[in-house]
Structure 1
Amino acid sequence: MSLRERINSDIKDAMKAKDAKKRDALRLLSSAFKQIEVDERKELNDDDVIKIILSQVKRRDDAATQYKNANREDLMQIELDEIEYYKEYLPAQLNDEELTLAIKDIIAKTGASTIKDLGKVMGTATKELSSKADGKRVSECAKVLLS
């Protein structure tokens, strides 16, 4: 079963369980998939679906931050709940130790030695770790290791 089929199945399960929050969150995600398919005229594979989910998580996180700054705890909680639903479909994220080891390996591969080489490291790290770690965490870890 593909990731997209699993999400569609979970939408149906949420409808049967009368879980409106989960149903609505997953419908928004499904809508994002359909929009990409229409815009780019292509069938999505699991890697594409993961990239879309990651972008939706980032959007929700940014919105939650904005709501928090505006003292709208109710709307912030909705965004955070949606993030939790979406994370069910993402691959396991690297912990700090695993991330540090992966970045050290990338630094060795690219021959980076100073903070000026951050671009080379980030280019490779983005390709290799995009679904396993947030870009912000990767960047922070790479900066620490290169300085």
Structure 2
Amino acid sequence: MSLKQKLKDDLKLAMREKNIVKRDSIRAINTMIKQIEVDERKELSDEDVLKLIQKGIKQREESIAQYKEASRDDLVAKEQEQVDIFKEYMPKQLSDEELESSMKEIIAEVGATTVKDMGKVMGTASKKLAGVADGKRINEMTKKLLA
């Protein structure tokens, strides 16, 4: 079953169960999908949908940080609920140990030895670990291993 079909089915279920948070979160994802499909006149693959969901998670996490600064706990909770639902559709994230071993392999593969080689490592790692590790985590692990 494609990810878009799963989203449609889950939306129907959320509406039947009157789960407003889940319904609104899935609608937000569907809106992002439709926006790209209409603007670019193309059908999105599951990989493209995962990238959109990841982008949505990042946007909401940035909002959470701003709401925390403004002491708006009500909005923090609302955004966090959406992030949690978005994450249900993402593949299982790598643990720190798994990420570290993957990064060591990539560093060896590209022949990186210093922090100056970080660009080569990040390019390869971003492609190989797309969806299973956040870019920020990849960046931090790369700095740690090359330092």
Q: TM-score range by the shorter chain?
A: over 0.9
TM-superposed deviation, 1:97: 0.4
Counterpart code for 1:74: D
Give the superposition deviation at 1:39: 1.1
Alpha-carbon shift at residue 6 of structure 1 (Å)? 0.4
**1:58 maps to 2:58:** yes
Aligned to 2:40: 40
Q: Provide the residue aligned with 2:99 in structure 1.
A: 99
How does the TM-score come out when normalised to structure 1? 0.98
The equivalent residue for 1:78 is: 78
CA distance in structure 1 between the partners assigned to 2:40 and 2:91 by the alignment = 25
Q: CA deviation at 1:130?
A: 1.6
Amino acid at match of 1:15: M
Amino acid at match of 1:87: K
The alpha-carbon deviation at position 40 of structure 1 amounts to 1.1
In structure 1, stretches of 5+ residues that fail to align are none
Alpha-carbon separation, structure 1, partners of 2:24 and 2:143: 39
Aligned to 2:145: 145
* Structure 1 residue 99, shift from structure 2 partner: 0.2
Please report the TM-score for the alignment, with normalisation by the length of structure 2: 0.98
Q: Tell me the C-alpha RMSD between the 2 structures.
A: 0.6
Rounded to whole Å, the distance in 1 between the matches of 2:128 and 2:69 is: 33
Structure 2 spans left out of the alignment, 5+ residues: none
Tell me the equivalent position of 2:21. Answer: 21
How many residues get paired? 147
Deviation at 1:138, TM superposition (A): 0.5
Identity across matched positions, percent:
51
**1:122-141 alignment runs, 5 A limit:** 122-141=122-141
